[in-house]
Amino acid sequence: MSDTPLTIDNILAPELTLCRVSASSKKRALEFIAEQINHQDNTLSETQIFNNLISRERLGSTGIGQGIAIPHCRLEGLDHVVGVLMTLEESVEFDAIDNQPVDLIFALVVPKEATSEHLELLSQLAEKFNERSFCDRLRQCEDANTLYERMTASGG
DSSP string, the chain: --SSPP-HHHHEEEEEEEEEE--SSHHHHHHHHHHHHHHH-TTS-HHHHHHHHHHHHHHS--EEETTEE--EEEETT--S-EEEEEEEEEEE----TT---EEEEEEEEEETT--HHHHHHHHHHHHHHT-HHHHHHHHT--SHHHHHHHHHSTT-
Residue 39 is among the residues annotated as catalytic for this protein: no
Q: Of 39, 72, 80, 118, which residue is the catalytic one?
A: 72
- Catalytic center residues: 72
